[in-house]
Amino acid sequence: MSTQKFDYNEHPHRRYNPLIGEWVLVSPHRAKRPWQGQEENDLEEEKLQYDPSCYLCPGNTRSNGVVNKQYTDVYVFDNDFPSLLQVDVEMPEETNPLFRIEPQKGINRVICFSPRHDLTLPEMEVEAIEKVVEAWKAQYLDLGGKEFINHVQIFENKGAVMGCSNPHPHGQIWSQSSIPTLVAKTQANLKKHYEANGTSLLADYLKAELERKERIVVENEHFAVVVPFWAIWPFETLIISKRHFGNITEMTKEERKAFAAIIKANTVRYDNLFKTSFPYSSGIHQTPTDGEEHPEWHFHMHFYPPLLRSATVKKFMVGYEMMAEAQRDISPEKSAAMLRELPEVHYKKLTNNII
């Protein structure tokens, strides 16, 4: 059998993710296969600026009887149905190491990005997203400052496909007494690199990506968006700060503005890709709030969108992915090129000739 010259847009291969120490199988040739699987419904309903039946709109009553403030920008409140509770419990003794268990305390909050029911981050102005960033910073300081909170996870589930139960623009903040599994894995690998090299893993990675330009989607003075070399989801992206710092409280005013701008630039491209309100789960990874020094941490934000071929075809993590390891078809380089070439003006404004 003859040996072919390797082409990462044609030949199957594995890529290593240094953040969590795991591999992903890339099968770019499979992207050519015909699709006869499930397609999601892409019927986007016209949303009102204010929905009287929405639990998150200003002035409305939530399901537990609490009335929202008549907020005019960002609104944060304790989740009415939290996954974590602020209670101390007495645990039973368990001597079998196969049945390990530990108590978990925490606080869950909801953050409404805007009083407008019909907006999402890519449709908001940069100045409005800056207020969201400021709220994230305030929540990180408030929750992380509590003695029993060792990690603050800021995230957003956008779209019904991602399990979002309410279309009003909002995210969540889960803070807890332990450091979650994926964060702990990331921390271990960041620390290993830092101790071996004296440098930030993500600073070194971003420097190499900026030199190659193959997977860079967009950048500004302070941040860059890259489709990671090890990306799992078809159009997965990572926002990485160009300066090495650990958490959102260390950002300068200019960096906060640039962070808001890069979030908009990235999410607008998502919407423009298939001309739909692009679903995703996103989340910020930053230093734990355990009181320890963490020079190894480098601020970054993950975006995991599920759409694969169009607004109606979704990537599923099943079969091989659940039993063996993560797998993707379209190459990260191809995904980055597709996103990079998209306009920075939202398709709704282009359609309506509004610039």
**Average pLDDT of each block of 10 consecutive residues along the chain (355 residues)?**
77 94 87 43 70 96 95 97 91 88 94 97 98 98 97 95 87 97 98 98 98 98 98 97 98 98 98 94 98 97 92 86 92 94 92 57
With beta carbons less than 8 A apart as the criterion, state whether 313 and 273 touch.
no
Helix (H) or strand (E) run with residue 165 in it: none
With beta carbons less than 8 A apart as the criterion, state whether 223 and 240 touch.
yes
* Residue 244: per-residue pLDDT: 98
298 is in an annotated binding site: no
57 is in an annotated binding site: yes
* Residue closest to 8 by CA, chosen among 220, 148, 215, 180: 215
* Residue 95: per-residue pLDDT: 86
170 included as an active-site residue: yes
* Residue closest to 66 by CA, chosen among 119, 121, 75, 74: 75
What structural domains and CATH numbers belong to the chain?
Answer: 15-28+48-87+101-351 (3.30.428.10)
* Residue 354: per-residue pLDDT: 52
* Residue 47: per-residue pLDDT: 81
Helix axes 332-340, 253-274, angle to 10 degrees: 100
pTM flag (> 0.85): yes
* Residue 30: per-residue pLDDT: 64
Catalytic residue chosen out of the listed positions 151, 170, 244, 300: 170
DSSP-derived secondary structure for 171-220: EEEEEESS--HHHHHHHHHHHHHHHHHSS-HHHHHHHHHHHH-SSEEEE-
Question: In whole angstroms, what is the distance from residue 182 CA to residue 179 CA?
Answer: 9
164 is in an annotated binding site: no
222 is in an annotated binding site: no
